[in-house]
């Protein structure tokens, strides 16, 4: 299961079922659960812990130093990865800039070739990042998000569940749940197809549409729109969209 040319630290903890391809490197303190596979010439750096059934593609680097000019390489930080993730060729995920901090990847995410997660990103579950997608430092991503090829998220933003960003698009402000981003910082409506595929029922989709129209398509100010919203009762799913607008934000939130 371990190619003889692979270099594996005696201080790494690998489940007996882990496969490691030729010329790969596993550094000190790495922990890998059952069913993980590391392809040829990949590198898993110190401080990386991962659960079960993760696949690391050719030439990927997991846990490399942050691309931060102020970073001290002696900082004790790492990357925490859940279960069932796929990282294809040349994916890069960088460790936290904060002592004892973690860059976090949840479960069942699919990162296509050459995608990048910067330091201190927190990613949920079931996200898909197409080729060359880029996520900057300190971004918080929800779940069931799709990033088109070459798309990018600016640092310190929040990206809501079931959102989509167009290929080569970019966001420098928070992305509301369920929304589609095109170009740079432009919303183009709701991800209705994604909600339908996720088995959001007709009434629930209708409710989310109503909240979206009030928040983003009305002529009222943001404060007036929220006042209108407050007069009604909303489901937990619709409240995710409402709270994204209502609660404080470091970078502000995208609008049409």
153, 136 contact by CB (below 8 A):
yes
User: Which listed residue (51, 57, 78, 120) is catalytic?
Assistant: 120
77, 59 contact by CB (below 8 A):
no
Crossing angle, helix 222-230 and helix 236-246, to 10 degrees? 150
191, 176 contact by CB (below 8 A):
no
- Within 13 A of 140's CA, how many CA atoms are on the CB side? 11
**Residue 69, Ramachandran bin (φ over 0: left; ψ between -120 and 50: alpha; else beta):** alpha
What is the length of the chain?
256
> Catalytic: 116?
no
User: Which listed residue (57, 137, 160, 169) is catalytic?
Assistant: 137
Q: How far is CA 246 from the centre of its chain?
A: 23
Alpha helices by DSSP H, the chain: 192-197, 202-212, 222-230, 236-246
153, 118 contact by CB (below 8 A):
no
> Catalytic: 119?
yes
Q: Is 199 helix (H, G, I), strand (E, B) or coil?
A: coil
Burial 61-81 (b: 16+ CB within 10 A, else e): bbbbbbeeeebeeebebbbbb
Q: 152-153 and 134-135 as β-strands: parallel, antiparallel, unpaired?
A: parallel
> Catalytic: 120?
yes
Query: Could you give the residue numbers annotated as active site?
Result: 119-120, 137
């Amino acid at each position: 299961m371990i190619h003889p040319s692979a270099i594996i630290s005696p201080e790494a903890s690998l489940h007996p079922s882990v496969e490691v391809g030729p010329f790969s490197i596993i550094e000190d303190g790495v922990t890998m659960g059952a069913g993980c596979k590391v392809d040829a010439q990949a590198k898993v750096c110190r401080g990386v812990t991962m659960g079960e059934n993760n696949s690391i593609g050719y030439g990927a680097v997991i846990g490399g130093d942050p691309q931060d000019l102020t970073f001290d390489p002696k900082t004790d930080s790492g990357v925490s990865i859940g279960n069932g993730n796929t990282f294809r060729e040349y994916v890069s995920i960088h460790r936290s800039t904060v002592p004892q901090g973690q860059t976090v990847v949840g479960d069942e995410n699919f990162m296509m070739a050459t995608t990048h997660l910067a330091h201190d990103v927190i990613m949920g579950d079931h996200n898909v990042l197409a080729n060359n997608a880029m996520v900057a430092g300190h971004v918080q991503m929800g779940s069931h998000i799709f990033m088109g090829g070459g798309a990018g998220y600016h640092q310190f933003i929040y990206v809501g569940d079931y959102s989509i960003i167009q290929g080569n698009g970019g966001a420098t402000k928070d992305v509301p749940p369920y929304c589609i981003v095109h170009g740079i910082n432009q919303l183009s409506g709701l991800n209705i197809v994604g909600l339908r595929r996720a088995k959001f029922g007709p009434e629930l989709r209708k409710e989310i549409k109503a909240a979206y129209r009030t928040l983003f398509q009305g002529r009222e100010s943001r404060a007036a729109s929220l006042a209108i919203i407050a007069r009604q009762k909303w489901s937990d799913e619709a409240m995710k969209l409402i709270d994204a607008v209502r609660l404080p934000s470091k970078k502000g939130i995208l609008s049409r």
